[in-house]
Chains A and B, each alone.
Chain A
Amino acid sequence: KNQVEQSPQSLIILEGKNCTLQCNYTVSPFSNLRWYKQDTGRGPVSLTIMTFSENTKSNGRYTATLDADTKQSSLHITASQLSDSASYICVVSAYSGAGSYQLTFGKGTKLSVIP
Chain B
Amino acid sequence: SAVISQKPSRDICQRGTSLTIQCQVDSQVTMMFWYRQQPGQSLTLIATANQGSEATYESGFVIDKFPISRPNLTFSTLTVSNMSPEDSSIYLCSVKDSGNQPQHFGDGTRLSIL
B107 engages A42 (CB within 8 Å): yes
Chain A residue numbers with a CB within 8 Å of B106 are 43
Question: How far apart sit A42 and B94, CA to CA, in the bound complex (Å)?
Answer: 13
Query: Which stretch, B12-20, B60-68, B70-78, B95-103, touches the partner chain A?
Result: B95-103
* A24 on interface, CB distance cutoff 8 Å: no
* B114 on interface, CB distance cutoff 8 Å: no
Chain A residue numbers with a CB within 8 Å of B42 are 4, 89, 105-108
Find the A residue at minimum CB distance from B44. Answer: A105
* A79 on interface, CB distance cutoff 8 Å: no
* A46 on interface, CB distance cutoff 8 Å: yes
Chain B residue numbers with a CB within 8 Å of A49 are 102
B102 engages A34 (CB within 8 Å): yes
A32 engages B108 (CB within 8 Å): no
Q: Residues of B within 8 Å of A, CB-based: how many?
A: 20
* B4 on interface, CB distance cutoff 8 Å: yes
Chain A residue numbers with a CB within 8 Å of B43 are 44, 89, 105
> How would you classify the secondary structure of chain B's contact residues: helix, strand, loop or mixed?
loop
B4 engages A43 (CB within 8 Å): yes
* A62 on interface, CB distance cutoff 8 Å: no
Question: How far apart sit A63 and B42, CA to CA, in the bound complex (Å)?
Answer: 22
Q: Residues of A within 8 Å of B, CB-based: how many?
A: 22
* B52 on interface, CB distance cutoff 8 Å: no
* A45 on interface, CB distance cutoff 8 Å: yes
Q: How far is the CB of A9 from chain B (nearest CB, A)?
A: 8
Chain B residue numbers with a CB within 8 Å of A103 are 45, 103
Question: How far apart sit A4 and B44, CA to CA, in the bound complex (Å)?
Answer: 13
10 chain-A/chain-B pairs, Cβ below 8 angstroms: A4-B42, A32-B100, A41-B107, A44-B92, A49-B102, A101-B100, A103-B103, A105-B42, A105-B44, A108-B42
